Amino acid sequence: MAWPYCAFVGFFLLGAVVSTAATDAEVDQRVEALLSRMTLDEKIGQMSQSDRLMTPFSDEVRQLIRQGRWGSLFNAGNPAERAEAQRIARTETRLGIPILFGRDVIHGYRTIFPIPLGQAATWDPDIVEQAGRTAAREASAEGIRWTFAPMIDIARDPRWGRIAESPGEDPYLASIFAAAMVRGFQGTSLADPSAIAACAKHFAGYGAAEAGRDYNSTWIAEILLRDVYLRPFHAAVDAGVASFMTSFNALNGVPSSGNEFLLRRILRDEWKFPGLVVSDYQSITEMTLHGYAADARDAAREAANAGVDMEMVSTAYFDHLKSLVSSGAVAGKTIDDAVRHILRLKFLLGLFDAPIPAAQTVTVTPESLAVAQKAATESVVLLKNDQNLLPLSDTVGSLAVIGPMADAPVDQLGTWTIDWRTEDVRTPLAELRQMLGNGRVLYAPGLKTSRDSSHDGFAAARDAADRADAAVLFLGEEQILSGEARSRAFLNLPGAQEELVEEVAKAGKPVVAVIMAGRPLTFHDTAARAGAILYAWHPGTMGGPAIADLLFGRAVPSGRLPVTFPRAVGQVPIYYAHLNTGRPASASELGIPMGTPAKPTGYTSKYIDVDVTPEYPFGYGLSYTNFTYENLRLSAPSVAMGGSLTISADIANRGRREGTEVVQLYIHDVVASVAQPVRLLKGFRRVALKPGEMRTVSFAIRTEDLAFYNQQMKLVTEPGRFEVWIAPDAEHGIKGEFVVK
């Protein structure tokens, strides 16, 4: 595929300025001119990334920069230190090669947006792109021009803590958001000073770690790898992503940082990716612990030959590449190709040409907060709303605000937040007090943290509920319970939160549960006691205003689940796009009570102690109004190979409030040479409808959209019968059929 090199502000051949925009050839010419002047030591320096600016900016560090020791610095220093380090690199090194500063700008920089799993719950690529653009502007203003995001691993196991960083379980939805995040970070031109280079990670299969344990092995058949786990990465390449990061895991026994199949055959040869590949943190030297490399020297050889251009933090490249080249174990061309990728990105970013940035500190702005609030509002999913308990009336006399997550600024931000400030964060408690007045808000946290098992605060919480007209419980996981190295064997609300809900419910008042978490949790008993449930993920800086607006109807929920919620952890992994099996459970076998084995009946694929269906299906989410789906129709009963057809339905708002419905299109290939999932998402639309309004929603499907990888690893569409649904989620909808000829 053609690589979309962006317009470049100027063309320099090591000095002379040309006013015309640089072409691909001109960028390559600059790279080759510089590469021809570099020593092997300087090349290896470019292939090395360090975290040394995370420690004091010492004279030793300054001297190492002058020597060209590092091509990139990781999560490095403050703006003043980065500016000084760049000044040294640009003016005091032999060739003046700038440093590429990278940082974990995962879901915001100073302004924090919902965690990526929450952003996926918006089903709104436009707001996700806006969030990435805002983060890029803030980070680039402080000298950061490379982010280690988006993380686009397909995740179907909520025990894995890094599901919080993922766009969820579905390759189509993840691909849409992968492209949106890349566009947001990189803008229309990498040369724009407000752009930062995106990094698609973790390549590949990391989200399928055994038993949900972080860093663990993955075993993925090639058909599944290509049809599911690689699709978002391919979408990122199509969107022009500047870099890739390898993953910690071994894929089918081969660590990703030494995996030629992934990095050369697929990424370079098949996808023609021309950008930079960086290892994950010390993942090259960790190949010795995998048992794949004998020592650091062996690991450096494996990684370089597999196609890793830059080593993150560990020093196997710096310590051993020179001798490996001398011995012929690593070819000089391999080194040159790696350095070409690094230099090309630096030229595309304009790092050689732009003025050395002055140190400055960014702050949140009304514009950034508005984007954060919109993203948070759209991310919240209404899971239950018995008897239209929500929205609460503005005339409610008093409101009990209870729970450890009601006023926990750091915890509502979620994982991977480095540059936030406490004063920027608006919690639900603070916003409700501002909205209702202090006298109408009765606050009792009940628990000190989400993990607190003490009942010492229960009496005050019960008293608040007794005196209030309604109670809102803010529950979930605190920040440190999700993210990297935060795998959980149990998915229940931690600590004594379930007992707190039980105690508050005894007051007999209406109970609303707001759950803030980095993953799907199991909360069956809480769901039974609460009249309404809002799942708010970790919503970021503006989570408080977003939640308050939703509670009181100033906004209407429109979030939808990007991942299936299990009834119990024993169902994991559970996802909607499963195969039917030869013995699927029948409708008569559903409704098994949870926990106590029922009398076994039938030899089908089910459990005997919990319903086989999820607690909440993929794509699910309620509103404060009611939508109907009617009159499914197809533009033709069949379509010729290479053609397309249109599938339409009438969506109507039958309630009394304006709302936004996320209309979803699912397909099932009924008979194929490789058994296909019972449903596959192939499209979606966010549709805003006023009360009484009806709109026809149409999806165009091309036969190539129906393609899958066959047993020969060829991407094919096969003729035959297809089922199609236009639906509100992955379990419901109105159904039709068509034939591909």
Contact 521, 508 (CB under 8 A): no
Q: Which of 124, 157, 227, 280 is catalytic?
A: 280
Q: Which residues have C-beta within 8 Å of that of residue 87, sequence separation ≥ 6?
A: 356
- Spatial separation of the C-alpha atoms in residues 425 and 516, rounded to whole Å: 15
Specify which residues 646 forms β-bridges with. 700
**Residue 74, token pair as written in the block:** 């990781």
φ/ψ of residue 86, rounded to 5:
-70, -35
- Spatial separation of the C-alpha atoms in residues 464 and 49, rounded to whole Å: 54
- Spatial separation of the C-alpha atoms in residues 237 and 270, rounded to whole Å: 11
H helices of 330-422, in order, are 332-348, 366-379, 409-413
Q: How, if at all, do strands 511-516 and 532-535 pair?
A: parallel
Q: Is 151 helix (H, G, I), strand (E, B) or coil?
A: strand
Contact 654, 627 (CB under 8 A): yes
565 CA to centre of own chain: 17
Closest CA to 100 of 41, 36, 28, 49: 49
**Residue 221, token pair as written in the block:** 């058949």
| Amino acid letter for position 549 | D
Q: Omega before 391 cis (within 30°)?
A: yes
Which strands sit side by side in the sheet containing 720-727, from one edge to the other?
A: 638-639, 734-740, 720-727, 659-669, 680-689
Instruction: State the number of CA atoms in the 13 A half-sphere of 297 facing the CB.
Output: 7
- Whether residue 280 lies in the annotated active site: yes
Q: Omega before 98 cis (within 30°)?
A: no
Longest dimension (CA), the chain: 82
- Spatial separation of the C-alpha atoms in residues 565 and 618, rounded to whole Å: 8
Catalytic residue ranges: 280
